[in-house]
Amino acid sequence: MAENSNVVTLKVHDISPQAAEVIAVTLVDPDGRRLPDWTPGAHIDLVMANGLTRQYSLCGDRWDAYSYRIGVLREPASRGGSAYVHETLEPGHLVGVSAPRNNFPFVPAKKYLFVAGGIGITPILPMIHQADLIGADWQLLYGGRRRESMAFLQELAKYGDRVRLHPQDELGLLPLAEFLGPPDPNVRIYSCGPGPLLGALEAVCSEWPRHFVRTERFVAEEHGPATHEGPFEVELARTGTTVTVTPEISVLDAIQAAGVEVLSSCKQGVCGTCEITVLAGQPDHRDSLLDEDDRAAGDCMYVCVSRSCTDRLVLDL
Amino acid sequence: MTITNAPAIDELPTNDADPFSSDVLEDPLPLHLALREAGPVVYLNRYDVYAFARYEQVHAALVNWQGFQSAAGVGLSNFRYEKPWRPPSLLLEADPPQHDAPRRVLQKILSPRSLRRLRERWMADAEDLVDQVLADSTEFDAVTALSQAFPLRVFPDAVGLRPEGRQNLLPYGDHSFNTFGPSNDLVAKGADTIAELSAWVNAQCQRDVLSDGGFGAQIWAAADRGDITHDQAPLIVRSLLSAGVDTTIHGISAVMYSFASNPDQWQRLRTEPGLARVAFDEAVRWESPVQTFFRTATMDIRVGDVVIPDGKKILMFLASANRDPRRWATSQHPDPDKFDLTRDPSGHVGFGMGIHQCIGQHVARLEADAIITALARRVERIELAGTPRRHHNNTLRAFGSIPVRAHLA
């Protein structure tokens, strides 16, 4: 089943500047295959050659099944994540990628109010695309430190006056209260941006029912488990064998090569068929299925894509 | 029925068969073989549709929701031009973006992790049922005694349905799956009762009749959280009731028939009870309870040497893909027509593939695992005690009866 074993490795196809410190990186399958499906609000984990893992929202077009696009801001205090992407990554390089996961799902509504701060525009872009597609009413308030630092302005231009740009150096802080207005049962608010913006938004929205207001906070750069770039061992507790998982094969491949039957289906970490109970060790989850609580529990994994953070995993097989 | 001139493409093979005729429904394998051998794309004259019968094209169409849409209906009827017989399913008959939220909500409710809490109880229920059946007689009809009895015992409870009227689920599901085919005798047979059955089903989807904690109540709770709208909730409950009963029943029948007609495989399962899960998926591959579904081309789309025009219907033969030697024949397992527990059935398209892949597949696997495991514990040998009888449906491969004899361990 080697045909699918590279699903977690993608190739940098293109890097293009989008604003002063923002680049868009387009990723494709090295063999030109379809990529796993995603929905607006989804992110991928990018596993870099320096061993760091960073999360980036997908901001491309899901009707193109062959590429992912992410927007990456060079963070001044970067410890190697965004700095690596900006300085080292080049077209042709290979990067590890998780299956897309969505903690910021786009829910059905008649009207949407989007508030983006800085690079927080990235998950909002595909939401806008879809809101427009289904003919929902929507407005975007987009803030940044200055106009030149605000990415994807060219793409947003086609939406005309539905988009309000608000560079801080010209116009000051975002006029949240005026933009959002009073609570409205037909409206859902989506916002992504830095902590202070989301704090201000929460304060302005204190009268809104909780689920009307959906936000995504930037993940701190320090966050993200160290992943295992080299080979690791997987012990099959019931079978009594231990297999070695080298970087070019999946845990599933390694288990099957040892003659142990594991049912699987999608081989993309999407369907859930190959769930295996983890008895010891810390899985490096790269599937689409588990939410943060599930992941923290660490008691199961999808062996078609997920790997290991520890030198050894013990599975109930 | 429309008969138009076949497209003027020299390379496009055509076939005159009716895939929904009684003869084909009784034994679809010869047609599947003919279509696979004819080419990657075949034009079906009778219905003016294109057919994929090889694994490669079926798999590619299933995952390519951008090119092969579901919102124009997954039956012969084209919703671009014809009014659906009921409000379309928010899952089966929807495309992104509308498909996203219902799929996400239901996927979580039916995920392997969410189902863990049911496992122990269902295992115990299966043992009870098997004990009851065997205490009564060691000769029984596997369809009524097990395949129907077990899902009807555990699934409506899991959804949270009231006890009354559950017998309506079977004829409702059977009719729903018939409507994906042409308006033939099978559809006509259900026409008189469907209004009443639909009314009952729709009434069971309302929040006040669903018990706390069940799948149905969880769907309504998702609407309260705004993950779906309140208008969507009853239709998503309806999806469970339409798609979650017949399919599982026929899947369990498939595995019962597989074992009863392959005693050596039952022996293998007896020595390795952990193979119950593989056995069910191998049976789903081998029998393919869901035989076919349609898609609609969203643009002029090239498949091999053929361009399928925008708006045309494509009939995907899942069952044929599941036995395509191009995918399944290996040196170890040369014959895809054999039910074989040493085969790895992973990747079969019996549950579909891609964003519309069967959302209840983990429920079906759990039900099947429970009943197979319970039976294997008590029964040393199982064999056919008479000739099985097929039940015809435009979409499903089903049994009306599988007489079996069990030899107790």
Residues of B in contact with A272 (CB under 8 A): 111-112, 362
pLDDT exceeds 50 at position A6: no
**Residue B4 domain-assigned?**
no
Scanning every residue of chain A, which has its alpha carbon at the shortest distance from the alpha carbon of B224?
A211
Residues A213 and A122 in one domain: yes
Residue type, B227: D
Question: Residue B101 and residue A290: Cβ atoms within 8 Å?
Answer: no
Say what percent of chain A tops pLDDT 90: 76
User: Which residue, A188, A217, A246, sits at the end of a domain?
Assistant: A217
Mutation pick from A33, A39, A215 vs chain B, by most beta carbons of B within 10 Å, is: A39
Q: Are residues A121 and A143 in the same domain?
A: yes
Q: Which two structure tokens, joined as six digits, stand for B170?
A: 């079977």
d(CA B70, CA B273): 38
Chain-centroid distance of CA A232 in Å reads 25
Asked if the Cβ–Cβ distance from B347 to A289 is below 8 Å, we say no
Closest residue on chain B to A294 (Cα)? B113
Cβ of A212 within 8 Å of Cβ of B347? The answer is no
- Residue A85 belongs to a domain with what CATH number? 2.40.30.10
Residue B341 lies in a domain: no
- Its sign, for the CA torsion B223, B225, B228, B229, is positive
Whether A63 sits inside 8 A of B344 (CB atoms) is: no
pLDDT tens digits, residue range B268-311?
Answer: 999 999 999 999 999 999 999 999 999 999 999 999 999 999 99
A207: pLDDT confidence band, cut at 50, 70 and 90? very high
What is residue A53's predicted lDDT score, i.e. its pLDDT? 81
Question: Is the residue at B339 inside a domain?
Answer: no
**B347/A267 CB distance under 8 A:** yes
A130: nearest CA partner in chain B: B97
B313 has pLDDT over 80: yes
Asked whether residue A222 is domain-assigned, the answer is: no
Q: What percent of chain B has pLDDT over 90?
A: 97
The pLDDT value recorded for residue B109 is 97
Q: What is the pLDDT of residue A183?
A: 96
Q: Express each pLDDT in A262-275 by its tens digit.
A: 999 988 888 899 99
Rounded to the nearest angstrom, the minimum Cα separation between A66 and chain B is 11
Residues of B in contact with A265 (CB under 8 A): 346-348, 351, 353, 357, 361
- The answer to whether the CB atoms of B226 and A40 lie below 8 A apart is no
Residue A268's pLDDT is: 87
Count of the separate structural domains present in chain B: 1
What mean pLDDT is predicted for residues A107-133?
97
Confidence category of residue B8, pLDDT binned at 50, 70, 90:
low
Please indicate whether, in this complex, the C-beta atoms of A264 and B347 are within 8 angstroms of each other: yes
Burial of A57 (0-12, 13-18, 19+ CB in 10 A): buried
- What digits encode the pLDDT tens for the residues A27-75? 999 999 999 999 999 999 898 777 778 889 999 999 999 999 999 999 8
- SS3 readout for chain A: CHHHCCCCEEEEEEEEEEECCEEEEEEECCCCCCCCCCCCCEEEEEECCCCCEEEEEECCCCCCCCEEEEEEECCCCCCCCHHHHHHCCCCCCEEEECCCEECCCCCCCCEEEEEEEHHHHHHHHHHHHHHHHCCCEEEEEEEECCHHHCCCHHHHHHHHHHEEEEEHHHHCCCCHHHHHCCCCCCEEEEEEECHHHHHHHHHHCCCCCHHHEEEEECCCCCCCCCCCCCCEEEEECCCCEEEEECCCCCHHHHHHHCCCCCCCCCCCCCCCCCEEEEEECCEECCCCCCCHHHHHHCCEEECCCCEECCCEEEECC
In a domain, A23, yes or no: yes
Domain limit, last residue, from A100, A126, A158: A100
Same domain, A88 and A116: no
> What ipTM was reported for this prediction?
0.91
Q: Do A180 and A273 belong together in one domain?
A: no
Question: Residue B23 is part of a domain; what is its CATH number?
Answer: 1.10.630.10
Kindly report the nearest CA distance between residue B365 and chain A, in angstroms.
9
CB contacts, 8 Å: A105 with chain B: 100-101, 104, 227
Q: What is the pLDDT of residue A5?
A: 42
| Residue A206, in any domain of the structure | yes
Does residue B42 form part of some domain?
A: yes
Residues B295 and B92: their CA atoms lie apart, in Å, by: 11
pLDDT digits (tens, 9 = 90+) for A61-74: 999 999 999 999 99
Which residue among A100, A122, A140 closes a domain? A100
Pairwise CB contact (< 8 Å): B354 & A188: no
Residue A289 pLDDT: 86
How many domains is chain A partitioned into structurally?
A: 3
Q: Do residue B226 and residue A107 have CB atoms under 8 angstroms apart?
A: yes
On average, the pLDDT of chain A sits at 91
In a domain, A105, yes or no: no
Q: Residue A277 sits in a domain of what CATH number?
A: 3.10.20.30
pLDDT on residue A294? 84
Please report whether residue B8 resides in a domain. no
Asked if B35 contacts B320 with a C-beta cutoff of 8 angstroms, the reply is: yes
Does the distance separating the beta carbons of B277 and A264 come in below 8 Å? no
Q: Do A195 and A292 sit in the same domain of this protein? A: no
pLDDT surpasses 60 at A106: yes
Contacts B226 to A, Cβ<8 Å: 107, 188, 209, 211-212
Q: Residues B219-231: what's their mean pLDDT?
A: 97
Confidence at residue A225, expressed as pLDDT on a 0 to 100 scale: 52
Same domain, yes or no, for A89 and A167? no
Region B235-247 average pLDDT: 96
Give the predicted TM-score (pTM) of the model.
0.93
pLDDT at B234 over 60: yes
Structure confidence at residue B14 (pLDDT): 97
Are residue A124 and residue A53 in the same domain, yes or no?
Answer: no
Q: Given this model, what pLDDT does residue A295 score?
A: 85
Do A266 and B65 make contact, defined as CB atoms within 8 angstroms? no
B314 to chain A, closest Cα gap in Å: 20
Q: At CA B52, angle to CA B242 and CA B181, rounded to 5?
A: 35
What mean pLDDT comes out for the span B382-397?
Answer: 98
- Tell whether the model's pLDDT for residue B2 goes beyond 50: no
Contacts of A271 in chain B (CB under 8 A): 357, 361
Q: Which residue from A211, A256, A272 is facing B226, i.e. has the nearest CB?
A: A211
Query: Are A37 and B345 an interchain contact pair (Cβ–Cβ within 8 Å)?
Result: no
Per the prediction, chain B carries an average pLDDT of 96
Q: Are residues A94 and A124 in the same domain?
A: no
Cα separation, A47 vs A36, in Å, equals 17
A194 inside domain: yes
The verdict on residue A144 lying in a domain is yes
* pLDDT (average), residues B67-85: 97
**A116/A90 same-domain check:** no
A277: which residues sit within 8 A by CB, 6+ positions away? Answer: A299, A300, A315, A316
Residue B372 structural domain? 14-334+347-408
Chain B: give the shortest CA distance to residue A294, in Å. Answer: 9
Residue A8's pLDDT band (cuts 50, 70, 90): confident
Q: Which of B111, B353, B355 sits opposite A289 (nearest CB)?
A: B111
Which pLDDT value is given to residue A288?
Answer: 86
Please say if the pLDDT value at position B216 is more than 70.
Answer: yes
From chain B, the residues in CB contact with A107 under 8 A are: 101, 226-228
Answer whether residue A225 is part of any domain.
no
What's the pLDDT at A286? Answer: 87
pLDDT of A1 above 50? no
- Residue A81: domain span: 2-100
Take residue B35 and report the two structure tokens written for it.
């279509």
Q: Are residues A241 and A306 in the same domain?
A: yes
Q: Three-class SS string for B54-123?
A: CHHHHHHHHHCCCCEECCCCCCCCCCCCCCCCCCCCCCCCCCCCCCHHHHHHHHHHCCHHHHHHHHHHHH
Same-domain status, A33 and A119: no
pLDDT > 50? residue B1 = no
**Together in a domain, A51 and A134:** no
Interchain CB distance below 8 Å, A265 and B353? yes
A256 occurs within a structural domain = yes
Predicted confidence band at A229 (pLDDT cuts at 50, 70, 90)? confident
Residue A301 has pLDDT above 70, yes or no: yes
Q: Which residues of A touch B353 (CB under 8 A)?
A: 265-266
**Res. A223: pLDDT tops 80:** no
Q: Is residue B327 part of a domain?
A: yes
Split at pLDDT 50, 70, 90, the class of A217 is confident
pLDDT at B392: 98
Would the CB atoms of A39 and B275 count as touching at under 8 Å?
A: no
> Given an 8 Å threshold on Cβ–Cβ distance, is A272 in contact with B345?
no
